[in-house]
Chains A and B, each alone.
Chain A
Amino acid sequence: MRRLLVAGAVLALAATACSSSDDRSLTVYSGRSEELIQPLIDRFEEETGISVTVRYAGSADLAATILEEGSSSPADVFLAQDPASLGTVATAELFTPLSEEQRSRVPSRFSDPDGYWLGISGRARVVVYDSTNVDPSELPQTEDGFTDPSWSGRVGIAPTNGSFLAFVSAKILLDGRDATLAWLEGMAENQSPTFPKNSAIVTAVNDGQVDTGLANHYYLLRALAEDPEVPGRNHFFAIATAGSLVMPAGVGILASSERTDEADAFVDFLVDDASQRYFAEETFEYPLVPGVPADDRLPPIETIPTPDLDLSLLATTLDEATDLVAEAGLL
């Protein structure tokens, strides 16, 4: 009797496993966190009937995983926080090009010029400052002003964080290797306090541990949502440099995927108006589809000075960025 039950259970399991593979399903590798993305995915499942399995981890981590898995990756779609991780997968020729229609939804400066990945939301690099201690008029026009001795010990940075490294990669492309190393050494010489990640910088500014810090713009808005009393404020650099760059989070479809219809539907979904509004209202990022407004406390994305940079090149200087950060003694 017991054996019969076990056999029955095995059969039932096998049956469900088979039937689920007949259904429409999709595997997404997401370098964006579960807290921010899962509500969106739930809505996608509801609207399309496609069931989505998501693997959440760091963007660079997942890019390395996809490279390791190669052409037999279980992933259909890669959703990443930064152009460098997407570019890494694109360079390895593991993405398939996106359709013209998908590419036309988003201004071309936020996507891969060859069409292998698409920006879905924007994250501006900003200075977060403690409004009780710092007068915004004191703040420099570009990140280069922070190597001045007057800022000694007052600027928090997250040298091991993906967003910071993407910024350093951009700086290498814009200003050259030497100028970037000099800037990093200047920050090190200034004893700039280092943090493990952006969120820790914003918390430290709000707690009064450090006067300012380099971070992405939306962390402060989230801190304000949790506690409206916090004294931190965002400052946008006035001159176009790597420090004023809007970095897109983006998406690409794996060339090895056999579920291209479902993957296409998912990419379409991420750049439809409702999802773009979700990014504006729930994650406080910049929507990239024109016509969808950002949070009204933010300057419009068109007014942020933007350097002329091909974002797909960021992947080529990422390892060099880590080398320079180490060479400057910030690791």
Chain B
Amino acid sequence: MTEPGSIVEIEIPAGVPAAPPGSTEQRRSHGPWYLWVISLLIVCVIAVPVTSLALRLLDATDAAWQSLLSWQTVRLMVRTLVFTALVTASATAVGVSGAWLLARTDLRFRRAWGVAFALPLVIPSYVIALVLISASGPRGLVADITGVDLPHLVGFPGAWLALTLSTYPYVFLITAAALQRVDPALEEAARGLGASPARVFRTVVLPQLRPAMGAGALLAALYTLSDFGAVSLMRFDVFTRVIYAQYSGRIDRSPAIVLSIVLVAAALIVIWAEQRTRGDGTLFSRKPARPPSVYRLTPWQRAAGTTFLAATVAAGLVLPVAVLSAWLLRGLTSGIDVTIPFDAIAGSLTGASLAAIVAVAASVPIVVLAVRYPTGASNALERAVYVMFSLPHITVAIAVVAFTVRYARPVYQSLLVLVLVYAAMFLAQATGPAKASLLQIDPALDDASRGLGRSHLATMARITVPLMSKGLLAGGLLVFVTALKELPATLLLRPSGFTTLAVRIWSSADELLYTQAAASALVLIAVSVVPVYYLSIKPKDVVGV
């Protein structure tokens, strides 16, 4: 990372105010009461797992606390943090390089590349891990086809590759969006003053991308920190494995809960670190007057860029689809029955789309308060959303089960709870794009509407929300795609009889029924293609955070 000082000089270019000007009334006000009522409801939903966790901690046995204070815990935590840092670094490098190539150069077929480059987003990380294990090694698919003996891809290299492939698309989508908003005037000025293209990229473009890169890296880091499926299949020991071991090997759930607060603490550290390096994130808050300039690649650069994109897409998309198809074909030719999991498709679509709708609806009041009525309280509200995103899913699920079974029996094991938990966990993915789109709307429009006699609520409904629609759609699609992949919370919280594609893939693979697992996984990828296609051709709407 560059020194904090180096960005300050250009952080707020002339003509781009640090905070969008609100009307005098708005700047003084705390915002309309109903926004706060809705927001408080949202906070209540978020507070349930957090409070329930805290209550469980008070109940925890001494033995549970002892498991926390061992060298093993410290050693694993260090290992987990180092691993998370390495994955985040590589995911950021891959995501930013891809974003620059596809947003700012004259490479050909950029739209098609963009879709393919973003698509690994939809493949659950444990599926990528399974596929990498199956394709590598002297008896693997790659060795079969090419005749080259590959080593087994397990342990650190395997886990690192699997999680890098699963997380770079987040960095890519957010950075690509930011790159399209960068004001070309700054770069032209730097070039005019004699800076080389490399120097312009390093000293002008990169610092402007810092907020977006930080936001993408944050998503990648938090994902890595709480991943269990991929690391356990790769047999790379990190902290989540201990939590799951305590959870699955005991009737007493308190050791698992105690251990998971370590993970929560680690997540808070990551969020804090990201906020420290972020700046205020308003650089691309206004549409620049002109689209950014296109960088012309030399033939050599073109070849290198294409190779890089092809290698990433080959590992993250082509290989998984090829291996899954090979499993499916092998099973079908040897007469294994495969069912199309219609109930799981229906379950996935229902759960994920309801989650997206709820998350988008909840993002509006939060973002309106944070942008139009910035106070300590509205700022804290926005952060709470991030804390929720960082909690390990298994921890949230245990806490919610414990709460609903005791205090909310009518909704225990109901779809309502599952959808609310999805929405709460992934709300950050909806507020990011929503905030970006609201930052672009001139508050003067609100004032005009109010001046013409419309109420606050009518102004929001008729003016603000429709103008935010693209950002809301992008946020909803991100939540949708993420909820489709979700496994641990779904397993614990779903209504009896409710199933999803992610659950079916996991349980089929667990029983070594690879033909059925492959069929379900291919369906999951197919279902996600349309939203990812939209997100990758409209990256401007995704602008993070």
Contact = CB atoms under 8 A, between A and B. Distances in A.
A160 B244 contact: yes
Contacts of B499: 34, 56
Contacts of A200: 233
A53 B492 contact: no
Interface in A221-242: 222-223, 225-228
A261 B247 CA distance: 34
B497 interface: yes
A209 B137 contact: yes
A209 B331 contact: no
B249 A165 contact: yes
A85 to B, nearest CB: 9
A53 B512 contact: no
Contacts of A54: 496-497
Interface string B128-148: 000001100111100000000
A35 B513 contact: yes
B409 A207 contact: no
Contact of B250 (A72, A194, A209, A318): A318
Nearest to B140: A207
Interface in B481-523: 491-492, 494, 496-497, 499, 503-504, 507-516
Contacts of B47: none
B327 to A, nearest CB: 8
Contacts of B504: 34
B250 A160 contact: no
A195 interface: yes
B489 to A, nearest CB: 12
Contacts of B514: 226
A53 B497 CA distance: 5
A187 to B, nearest CB: 15
A108 interface: no
A209 B140 CA distance: 11
B251 interface: yes
B509 A199 contact: yes
A290 B437 CA distance: 69
Nearest to A161: B248
Contacts of B515: 226
A202 B512 contact: yes
A101 interface: no
B242 A199 contact: no
B463 interface: no
Nearest to B126: A196
B263 to A, nearest CB: 15
B413 interface: yes
Contact of B413 (A74, A193, A197): A74
B154 interface: yes
B264 interface: no
A16 to B, nearest CB: 15
B139 A208 contact: yes
A325 B405 contact: no
A199 B252 contact: no
A68 B496 contact: no
B350 interface: no
Contacts of A65: 401, 405
A206 B405 CA distance: 43
A326 interface: yes
A60 interface: yes
A190 to B, nearest CB: 16
A199 B336 CA distance: 19
Given A63-B251, A68-B402, A208 B512 contact: no
B245 A159 contact: yes
Contacts of A33: 507, 510-511
A36 interface: yes
A119 interface: no
Nearest to A227: B330
B245 A331 contact: yes
Interface in A161-175: 161-162, 165
Contact of B138 (A159, A203, A208): A208
16 contacts: A34-B503, A34-B504, A54-B497, A57-B492, A64-B251, A68-B402, A69-B405, A159-B245, A160-B249, A193-B235, A199-B509, A206-B139, A209-B154, A227-B330, A228-B334, A322-B249
Interface of A: 27, 29, 33-36, 53-58, 60-61, 63-65, 67-69, 72, 74, 88, 159-162, 165, 193-197, 199-200, 202-203, 206-209, 219, 222-223, 225-228, 318-319, 321-322, 325-326, 329, 331
Given A64-B253, A196-B232, A319-B252, 14 more contacts: A33-B511, A53-B496, A56-B507, A74-B413, A203-B133, A207-B133, A207-B137, A207-B139, A209-B152, A322-B246, A325-B249, A326-B245, A329-B72, A331-B241
Interface of B: 67, 72, 133-134, 137-140, 152, 154, 232-233, 235, 241-242, 244-253, 327, 330-331, 334, 336, 401-402, 405, 409, 413, 491-492, 494, 496-497, 499, 503-504, 507-516
